[in-house]
Structure 1
Amino acid sequence: MPQEAIQRRRSRRGGLLNTDGRRHPLENALTLAAFVLGVCALVFGFISATHFLGALAAVLGLPLALYAQLVSATTGERFFNVIAMIASFVGGAMALRHGGFSL
C-alpha cells in the first residue's frame, strides 16, 4: 500500500496528459493537434459558410486522432483522443451536410 500512495503522488505532477508522471512529447503533440483539429472541425461544421474548412479539418483530424490513439501511452491522452475523434466525425458530418468540399 505505501507504493500506491507514492505512485498517486507522482501521477499528480504529470498534468492532464502525462498521468504516469513521465514525459511523452510526441504523443502529447499528436493528441493536441488532433484535439485542435477536432474542435475546429466541429465549430466550422456547424457554421454553414465555413463548410469547406470544417470538412478539411475533419479529413485531417480524424485519421490523426486515430493514429494518436494507436500510439498513446497514458489514459489522459486516450481520453482527449476519443474526444477529438468524436468532434472530428460530428464536425465532418455537419460540414458535409452544409456542402462539404464544394466551394
Structure 2
Amino acid sequence: MTQAVRQPHGSRGLLAVLNSDGRSHPVENTLAAVTVVLGALAAISSLWTGLHLLSSWSGLAGILTGAWGQFISATTGERFLLIIGLGASAFGFFLGMAHGGLFGGVIG
C-alpha cells in the first residue's frame, strides 16, 4: 500500500519538497533550477521572432540540462520541476527554430 511522503520535522518550503528523502541534493536541485530558468527564458523569448537566436540556444541548453537532470534526479519534486522546465525549453527551442534557427542570418 502506498504512503504519503513524510517530510522531516521542521522543514518547509521548496527545499523540503526537493529533498523529500531527507538528504541534500545540491547538484540535482541546481540542475532543476537551471532547467526551469532556461525554459522560462526560451518560452518567453520565443514570442518575438527577432529573438530566435536567444530562444533556440536557451531552449537547447534547457533540453540538455533537463535531460541530464532527469538521468540523475533522486526525488519526485526534482523530476516534477525538470519536466516543467523541459517542456518550456522544448517549446521555446522549436519556436526559435521555426523563426530562424540556431544560426539563422548569422552564418550563410
Fold match (TM-score > 0.5):
yes
TM-score normalised over the length of structure 2: 0.81
TM-score normalised over the length of structure 1: 0.84
SS of residue matched to 2:24: coil
**What is the alpha-carbon distance in structure 2 between the residues aligned to residue 63 and residue 9 of structure 1?**
30
Distance 1:12-1:55 versus aligned 2 partners, 3 A rule: farther
- Whether the 8 Å contact between 1:62 and 1:85 is mirrored in structure 2 is yes
Unaligned runs of 5+ in 2: none
Q: CA deviation at 1:9?
A: 4.1
**What is the alpha-carbon distance in structure 2 between the residues aligned to residue 68 and residue 88 of structure 1?**
14
Q: CA deviation at 1:68?
A: 0.2
Distance 1:12-1:27 versus aligned 2 partners, 3 A rule: farther
Would you tell me which structure has more helix in proportion to its own residues?
1
SS of residue matched to 2:19: coil
Q: CA deviation at 1:39?
A: 1.1
Runs of 4 or more, structure 1, over 3 Å off, are none
**What is the alpha-carbon distance in structure 1 between the residues aligned to residue 50 and residue 26 of structure 2?**
36
Unaligned runs of 5+ in 1: none
**Alignment RMSD (CA, Å):** 2.1
Q: Deviations over 1:49-81 (max 9, x none)?
A: 211100010111101100001100110000001
Give % identity.
Answer: 35
